[in-house]
């Protein structure tokens, strides 16, 4: 568009006009530069720890700042397990809502239900944590954990004393927090499936569910996978709510009832208390791993979603 | 023999599955499951709003808004400094995030160069997924270390950085919604491209851009993690940019994990204020959006 009007280079207007283009271009380039700078600063901060520990940082399970021993495995384990647990709960629920909204709900129901699900994304993370600590955790301790212990107690995942705070509660609260993002993106992806595909299935005599299964889900598969990856990325980086309910104990326990620790939580709790350089550097390396992991997940997710055109991504993350 | 009988069995089962009645029942069952999913998502939302309102309301009174936090054991005390601190942080963040995001959005929507545009758009989208605590660590290394201490400025910068992707994205979307004929009319009248963008296209898209800005503000208003080691929090009055400053989400966090009943109650009160603020911003954003979508075909 900027080529449409030709002004002479001697005209002051020309330079005024070009300068605006250059200003906006400068800020656009800054987005790339800031991302690069972020990566550089994190690597710089983590360098001491990378040099000192090498790969054993990621495989060591001993976290003892007093004796300068740093192994991040308990945090990686806690983050991964709580996030996968969250996906296990959130994916069926989100897909149910997304399909309902995109294919079944009439317009008068579509608007309010969408708004309510978006509202879940608007609630700040720290409020989720507050609710998790004082409402969800007591309920998990008094109802859910005894119930699971009685019915599925023969599995190693559901053994141990019911504490309330722990991996299970963290997974539950994360699942609630990632429902809006998975729902919103799968909803848009499903809506982008061509109408004639659906009509063809219906014309062949498919019931509504068969139409959804044959025409919609098979077409939207990769987009839904992208939505799930974005949800996973959000769960991995979620900080405050998890910190408040996961129990903050750097141990690897098979039981979901046991307290754990996550990568984001240990940064939140210990970063300001890190008293010497190696400690700070070890925490920064955890941040670097988190950054790399979420960057990769988001990259993959965007590649999967982009072919569906402009799918707006909303929702808060913390 | 067993294989053949297995095949016969499969056939019978498949025939059963293919009966019209069975297919109808499956359809109804799945629809019911979807409704159940909607209700499942509603339960935590209602519970969170209900508990925040009920527990928060009981701590509400005038002095809660006008007083500083009191030491442990003394009754009363409020969140005045946290309210003002959050306001200042949001102003700082907006001063950085809004111009930055809008300019990048203009660049992407109006100049849209192929290679660079795609790279910036992609990076921007990926940035929305970066955990905010990592942004906090980045600003810590960038500003806190170099300035020699936690500061309101660092907190504002961290929140501002978090606003950029959202504002950029919504600005680009909204500018693209403005009909091409408006641009052509402006150019035909002799306006330069820059004049066209600033005086015609941008005003036309303004309600939509405001929606994006309000959503971005609502998001950073509740951010806690990046403030932990930038703004840090403060129990006293402070409006200085080079000093640690209090913030509403930080206050909620500190009070919630404290062992004192009184503080925990105040955490609920502060949470009610924060949730109220965020919901109001979201409602206004919705209203602005309905005004903005007039160009939608």
Q: Is residue A51 part of a domain?
A: no
Compute the distance between CA of residue A141 and CA of residue A148 in angstroms, rounded to an integer.
11
What pLDDT digit, counting tens, does each position of A127-180 carry? 999 999 999 999 999 999 999 988 988 888 898 888 889 999 999 999 999 999
Tokens matching residue B2: 């067993």
Q: How far is A67 from chain B (nearest CA, A)?
A: 24
Domain total in chain A: 1
Q: Is residue A159 part of a domain?
A: yes
Can you tell me whether residue A162 is helix, strand or coil? coil
Task: Locate the domains of chain B by residue range.
Answer: 2-57, 62-295
Taking an 8 Å cut-off on Cβ atoms, the answer to whether A117 and B41 are in contact is yes
Q: Is residue A41 part of a domain?
A: no
Q: How far is B155 from chain A (nearest CA, A)?
A: 14
What pLDDT digit, counting tens, does each position of B139-152 carry? 999 999 999 899 99
Average pLDDT, chain A: 90
pTM reported for the whole predicted model: 0.91
Residue among B159, B165, B164, B160 at smallest CA distance from B227: B159
Compute the distance between CA of residue B226 and CA of residue B246 in angstroms, rounded to an integer.
13
Inform me whether the pLDDT recorded for A124 exceeds 90.
Answer: yes
CA atoms within 13 A on the CB side of A155: 11
Can you tell me whether residue A63 is helix, strand or coil? strand
Q: Is residue A104 part of a domain?
A: yes
Q: Is residue A311 part of a domain?
A: no
Taking an 8 Å cut-off on Cβ atoms, the answer to whether A23 and B126 are in contact is no
Nearest-CA residue of chain B relative to A173? B44
Tell me the ipTM for this assembly: 0.90
CATH class of B62-295: mainly alpha
Interface of B with A in 233-272 (CB under 8 A): 249, 252-253, 256-257, 264, 267-268, 271
Compute the distance between CA of residue B269 and CA of residue B111 in angstroms, rounded to an integer.
47
Query: SS in 3 state form for chain B?
Result: CHHHHHHHHHHHHHHHHHCHHHHHHHHHHHHHHHHHHHHHHHHHHHHHHHHHHHHHHCCCCHHHHHCCCCCCCCCCCCCHHHHHHHHHHHHHHHHHHHHHHHHHHHHHHHHCCHHHHHHHHHHHHHHCCCCHHHHHHHHHHHHHHHHCCCCHHHHHHHHHHHHHHHHHHHHHHHHHHCCHHHHHHHHHCCCCHHHHHHHHHHHHHHHHHHHHHHHHHHHHHCCCHHHCCCCECCCCCCCCCCCCECCHHHHHHHHHCCCCHHHHHHHHHHHHHHHHHHHHHHHHHHHHHHHHHHHCC
Range of the domain at A154: 56-306
CA distances (Å), origin A290, targets A182, A262, B176: 20, 10, 34
Compute the distance between CA of residue A233 and CA of residue A90 in angstroms, rounded to an integer.
13
Q: How confident is the model at residue A310 (pLDDT cuts 50, 70, 90)?
A: low
- Considering chain B, what percentage of its residues have pLDDT values greater than 70? 95
Closest partner CB to B129 (pick from A244, A294, A310): A294
Q: What is the structure's pLDDT at A50?
A: 94
What pLDDT digit, counting tens, does each position of B183-201 carry? 999 999 988 889 999 999 9
Q: How far is B245 from chain A (nearest CA, A)?
A: 15
Asked whether the beta carbons of B231 and B250 are under 8 A apart, the reply is yes
Inform me whether the pLDDT recorded for B264 exceeds 50.
Answer: yes
Compute the distance between CA of residue B183 and CA of residue A218 in angstroms, rounded to an integer.
41
Q: How confident is the model at residue B83 (pLDDT cuts 50, 70, 90)?
A: very high
Q: The tokens 């809006």 sit on which residue?
A: A180
- DSSP at A101: I
What pLDDT digit, counting tens, does each position of A178-232 carry? 999 999 999 999 998 999 999 999 999 889 999 999 899 988 999 999 999 999 9
Q: Is residue A277 part of a domain?
A: yes
Q: How confident is the model at residue B239 (pLDDT cuts 50, 70, 90)?
A: confident
Element (H, E) at A69: strand A69-70
Inform me whether the pLDDT recorded for B77 exceeds 70.
Answer: yes
What's the full length of chain B, in residues?
Answer: 297
CA distances (Å), origin A269, targets A7, A274, A287, B240: 59, 10, 13, 26
Q: What is the structure's pLDDT at A318?
A: 37
Q: What is the CATH number of the domain that holds A223?
A: 1.10.3720.10
Q: How far is B62 from chain A (nearest CA, A)?
A: 22
Q: Is residue A3 part of a domain?
A: no
Q: What is the structure's pLDDT at B96?
A: 96
Interface of B with A in 168-227 (CB under 8 A): 168-169, 173, 183, 187, 191-195, 197-198, 215, 218-219, 221-225
Closest partner CB to B111 (pick from A24, A92, A317): A24
Q: Which residues contact A256 (CB under 8 A, 6 or more apart)?
A: A81, A85, A157, A158, A166, A167, A168, A171
Compute the distance between CA of residue B230 and CA of residue B250 in angstroms, rounded to an integer.
11
Compute the distance between CA of residue A120 and CA of residue A225 in angstroms, rounded to an integer.
21
- DSSP at A64: E
Q: Is residue A9 part of a domain?
A: no
């Amino acid at each position: 568009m900027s080529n449409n009007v030709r002004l002479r280079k001697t005209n002051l207007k020309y330079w005024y006009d070009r300068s605006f283009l250059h200003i906006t271009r400068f800020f656009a380039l800054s987005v790339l530069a800031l991302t690069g700078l972020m990566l550089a600063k994190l690597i710089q901060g983590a360098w001491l720890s990378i040099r000192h520990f090498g790969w054993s940082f990621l495989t060591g399970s001993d976290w003892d700042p007093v004796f300068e021993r740093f192994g991040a495995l308990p945090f990686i384990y806690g983050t991964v397990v709580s996030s996968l647990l969250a996906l296990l709960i959130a994916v069926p629920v989100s897909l149910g809502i997304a399909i309902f909204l995109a294919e079944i709900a009439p317009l008068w129901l579509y608007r309010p239900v969408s708004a309510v699900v978006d509202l879940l994304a608007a609630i700040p993370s720290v409020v989720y944590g507050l609710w998790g600590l004082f409402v969800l955790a007591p309920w998990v301790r008094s109802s859910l954990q005894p119930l699971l212990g009685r019915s599925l107690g023969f599995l190693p995942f559901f053994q141990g004393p019911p504490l309330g705070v722990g991996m299970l509660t963290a997974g539950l609260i994360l699942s609630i927090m990632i429902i809006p993002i998975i729902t919103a993106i799968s909803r848009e992806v499903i809506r982008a499936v061509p109408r004639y595909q659906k009509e063809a299935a219906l014309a062949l005599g498919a019931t509504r569910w068969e139409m959804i299964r044959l025409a919609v889900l098979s077409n939207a598969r990769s987009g839904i996978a992208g939505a799930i990856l974005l949800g996973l990325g959000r769960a991995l980086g979620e900080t405050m709510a998890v910190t408040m309910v996961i129990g903050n104990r750097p141990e690897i326990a098979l039981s979901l009832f046991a307290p754990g620790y996550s990568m984001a939580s240990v940064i939140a709790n210990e970063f300001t208390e890190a008293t010497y350089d190696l400690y700070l550097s070890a925490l920064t390396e955890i941040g670097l791993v988190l950054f790399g992991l979420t960057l990769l997940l988001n990259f993959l997710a965007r590649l999967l979603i982009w072919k569906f055109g402009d799918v707006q991504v909303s929702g808060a993350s913390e | 023999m067993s294989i053949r009988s297995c095949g016969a069995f499969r056939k019978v089962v498949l025939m059963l599955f293919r009966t019209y009645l069975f297919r109808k029942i499956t359809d109804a069952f799945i629809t019911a499951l979807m409704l159940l999913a909607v209700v499942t998502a509603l339960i935590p939302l209602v519970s969170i709003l209900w508990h925040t309102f009920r527990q928060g309301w009981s701590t509400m009174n005038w002095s809660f808004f006008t007083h500083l936090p009191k030491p442990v054991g003394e009754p009363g005390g409020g969140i005045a400094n946290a309210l003002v601190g959050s306001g200042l942080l949001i102003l700082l963040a907006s001063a950085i995030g809004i111009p930055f995001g809008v300019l990048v959005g203009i660049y992407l929507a109006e100049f849209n160069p192929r290679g660079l545009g795609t790279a910036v758009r992609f990076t921007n989208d990926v940035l929305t997924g970066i955990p905010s605590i990592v942004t906090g660590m980045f600003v810590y290394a960038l500003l806190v270390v170099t300035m020699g201490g936690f500061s309101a400025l660092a907190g504002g910068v961290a929140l501002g950085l978090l606003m950029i992707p959202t504002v950029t994205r919504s600005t680009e979307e909204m500018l693209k919604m403005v009909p091409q004929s408006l641009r052509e009319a402006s150019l035909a009248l002799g306006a330069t491209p820059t004049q066209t963008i600033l005086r015609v296209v941008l005003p036309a898209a303004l309600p939509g851009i405001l929606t994006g800005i309000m959503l971005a503000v609502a998001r950073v208003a509740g951010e806690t993690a990046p403030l932990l080691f930038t703004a840090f929090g403060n129990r006293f009055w402070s409006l200085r940019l080079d000093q640690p400053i209090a913030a509403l989400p930080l206050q909620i966090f500190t009070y919630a994990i404290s062992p004192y009943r009184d503080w925990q109650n105040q955490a609920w009160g502060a949470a009610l204020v924060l949730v109220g603020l965020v919901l109001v911003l979201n409602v206004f954003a919705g209203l602005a959006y309905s005004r903005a979508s007039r160009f939608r075909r």
